[in-house]
Amino acid sequence: MDLSGKSTVAKAFAMQRPEFTLRRTFLCPDNPHVKTAFSRVEDSSSPLDISKLFIEAVTHDIESHPMLDEKIILDGPIMTRIPAHLMGRGEGAEERKVAEYYLNMLDSFPDPEEAFYLWANMKERVSRLKKRMDENPNAVTQADLLLFEDPVLFQSIEEMHRHIVNERFNPTVVDTSGVTEQEVLDFVNEKRC
């Protein structure tokens, strides 16, 4: 199950439903390439360089997923986020080539039992990000900050991500604007039963 778009809901769902294991970004908890890629992200300045760093990690996930024998909530899969960032920026040929590579790998990615795409309008996103910046500034990423620094680019990336997820996983789309976390959880639980 993918609860892309709202980590707090994914965490709360996993706490309420202990038969599920929450994974952030990658399926395999022992993926040897993830730590290396994340450690090198800080040294990289371009989205293209960052995207190339994660190819081995995503490949490992695809090759290892059949060995996983657990119910997984995959929150914010990097496999769909990276091509969305590259394509949403509308940059050059090399970026498009790397984005296409990721999209082609998606064909080998396991189909979720259920997929949900949780989103919120821009006003709600700004409000939530301000709250997160106050409560947990270390959880704010450069991608999050685009919401303030370049809202047009942020929306372009988000629209591309939604398009990729819709096309590949056919999720149930849930507008979480003005809705409590519990209401979203109730909806997801009801949809799954």
Domain count, the chain: 1
Q: How confident is the model at residue 154 (pLDDT cuts 50, 70, 90)?
A: very high
User: What pLDDT, on a 0 to 100 scale, did the predictor assign at position 153?
Assistant: 93
> Rounded mean pLDDT of 44-59?
78
**Could you tell me the CATH number of the domain that includes residue 157?**
3.40.50.300
Domain interval for residue 34: 2-192
What are the pLDDT digits (tens) for 85-101? 889 887 788 888 888 98
User: What pLDDT, on a 0 to 100 scale, did the predictor assign at position 67?
Assistant: 60
Q: In this structure, what token pair is assigned to residue 75?
A: 């929150």
User: What pLDDT, on a 0 to 100 scale, did the predictor assign at position 45?
Assistant: 62
User: What pLDDT, on a 0 to 100 scale, did the predictor assign at position 160?
Assistant: 93
B/e letters for 139-163, b = 16+ CB within 10 Å, e = fewer, are eeeeebebbeeeeeebebbbebbbe
Highest mean pLDDT among 40-44, 75-79, 91-95, 121-125: 121-125
- C-alpha to C-alpha distance for 149 and 147, rounded to whole angstroms: 6
- C-alpha to C-alpha distance for 100 and 113, rounded to whole angstroms: 25
In this predicted structure, which of 76-80, 145-149, 166-170 has the lowest mean pLDDT?
A: 76-80
Sign of CA dihedral 143, 120, 80, 83: negative
For residue 73, count CB atoms less than 10 angstroms from its CB and return exposed for 0-12, middle for 13-18, buried for 19 or more: buried
